[in-house]
Structure 1
Amino acid sequence: METKQFTANQIDQAADLIRHGELIAFPTETVYGLGANALDEKAVKQVYKVKGRPSDNPLIVHVSDFEMVKQYVKDFPEQTKALVDSFWPGPLTLIFDIQPNTFSAAVTGGLNTVAFRMPNNQKTLDLIKTAGVPLVGPSANTSGKPSPTTAQHVYHDLHGKIAGILDDGPTQIGVESTVLDLTAKNGVPVILRPGAITKESLEQVIGNVCVDQHLISEKEAPKAPGMKYKHYSPDVPVWIIEGDQQVFKRAIEWAKSKNQRIGLYADDQITSIFLNDVGAVYSFGEDSVEQGTKSLFAGLRSLDEQNIEVIFAQAFPESGLGIAYMNRLKKAANQKIIKIDSIFE
């Protein structure tokens, strides 16, 4: 199969392929998604096959407006209007109880709920509107690997497996949306996956919000994507480095003593100091969590392709956007959060 790259002038062609059961990758402000008609069970199952994704994982349904959600959800929680008015279109996914016989189990993961999102990308909103159907949209990559933040990442993983890619350049945020569950019996919304919309931002709009910090094992069925214990992982091991340049220095010396070729993901200052001590570097620029988050998946992908044996990645404090950054980095590192002093003695 030839994988065609579509431009904004070719959205009609891409939408026609969607209607005929084909898969089209699409851009969002977070990462690129792998789009299929959410009402076409055969097409949705093809998404799982192409990604190599476990079929117990529910899929996020992408819509072009809130009216589209109303076709599948009968009773909305009281917080819904405020959330939609404040954060849609945007990087917030909302989980609702759905009406019977609307989406197949291939979409829901066998649950009675569905996660909906209205992405903040005009090309993709136009694609959904033109296709006239909601789109499932897991990240457009091989399952478990770093998510794609450019059309080139998608092509690297899925060329020859999908019909096309709608290209809109690099994504702006770099990690997937915040997932908020609105179906709790006590009425308190629960963050199942952190993202750019923080707990503090949500609470300014709707009051109390809980955070589910339970890590889903490989044998458990998640209620939302990205909840697995290990996820977003390159092929080589990732270690999280917490602390100043002295900590990086000790970590690098430890790896070199084992004759490991090192990849370093960090800011300009750290990468410039150790440029000649490691095999490959990927700098995300200034020392800011926004820049670190935006480049995280691209950096892990780039280092993974440079014949290295271990990746050392810079940590950020777990507050605000840093919660989403560290959530993804910890999963890429398979939760290997370790005390540097106890390891590099």
Structure 2
Amino acid sequence: MTNDFSPLSQWQLDRARRTVHRGGVIAYPTEGVWGLGCDPWNPDAVEEILELKQRPAHKGLILVAASTDQIEFLLAPLDPEMRERATRHWPGPVTCLLPDPEDRVPFLVKGDHSAIAVRVSDHPVVKALCEAAGQPLVSTSCNPAGRPPARHGWQVRRYFGQGQVHIVPGALGGNRKPSRILDIVTGQWLR
């Protein structure tokens, strides 16, 4: 990942935090593509993302977090080996499938899966947004179904117009490929 990110001002972070807490959708740069995010426990916000993307709810979405503390509710029930299998890849561009036996993550985020896809990001904008919100956020590629993920702010505006999403400024990280996906129960790499 490169270190040439423009830091977000306090005003930009406050505005993004207010958007998330009001149930709005934000678009922001991630490690490789622009993402759409919201409060995962706000069903109206998650439904808005699914509608914007034209994505069926049963497919599920990803959660991003600033630290393992933000997803401790998913890590705490794991045995030490599975916990270590996940946390050794974080922060970084690895998405881990974590069991959610207590159903703490809503169906609209988890979809038809018993596990939830989670990434603890090392991207400075993603981290700052999660820290400002005080929680993990939904993260999914910023594009309607069947279209390539946005790699520039102008593509976000082209896909979703003015006012549909709050665009958080920043630069993409250096990843050209999607994050790798690890099933921490089986230890298998799925991507």
TM range (shorter): 0.7 to 0.9
The match for 1:192 is 190
Amino acid at match of 1:72: L
Amino acid at match of 2:8: A
Equivalents in 2 of 1:150, 1:101: separation in Å? 35
> Quick check: which has more Rg, 1 or 2?
1
Name the % identity.
26
What's the TM-score once normalised by structure 1's chain length? 0.50
The match for 1:76 is 78
1:75-125 Cα distance to aligned partner (Å, 9 max, x none): 22514325423x322110011111424111101113221111012211221
Q: 1:153 to 1:74 in 2, by over 3 A?
A: same
CA RMSD of aligned residues (A): 1.8
Equivalents in 1 of 2:159, 2:73: separation in Å? 34
Equivalents in 2 of 1:154, 1:116: separation in Å? 23
Amino acid at match of 1:191: W
| Mean Cα deviation higher: 87-96 or 74-83 | 74-83
1:232-252 Cα distance to aligned partner (Å, 9 max, x none): xxxxxxxxxxxxxxxxxxxxx
Q: 1:122 to 1:60 in 2, by over 3 A?
A: same
Give the gaps of 5 or more residues in structure 2.
1-6
How is 1:143-182 mapped onto 2 (pairs within 5 angstroms)? 143-160=145-162, 162-182=164-184
The match for 1:113 is 115
What's the TM-score once normalised by structure 2's chain length? 0.87
Whether contact under 8 Å (2:75, 2:83) holds in the other structure is no
Amino acid at match of 2:129: L
Give the gaps of 5 or more residues in structure 1.
1-6, 194-345
Equivalents in 2 of 1:119, 1:149: separation in Å? 18
Q: 1:166 to 1:103 in 2, by over 3 A?
A: same
The match for 2:3 is none
Which contiguous aligned blocks of 4+ residues in structure 1 show a shift greater than 4 angstroms?
A: none
Amino acid at match of 2:87: V
The match for 1:124 is 126
2:8 corresponds to 1:8: yes
The match for 2:64 is 62
Q: 1:170 to 1:100 in 2, by over 3 A?
A: closer
Higher relative CO (CA 8 A, sep ≥ 6), structure 1 or 2?
A: 2
2:41 corresponds to 1:43: no
The match for 1:31 is 33
TM-superposed CA distance for 1:34, in Å, is 0.3
- Equivalent residues, number: 182
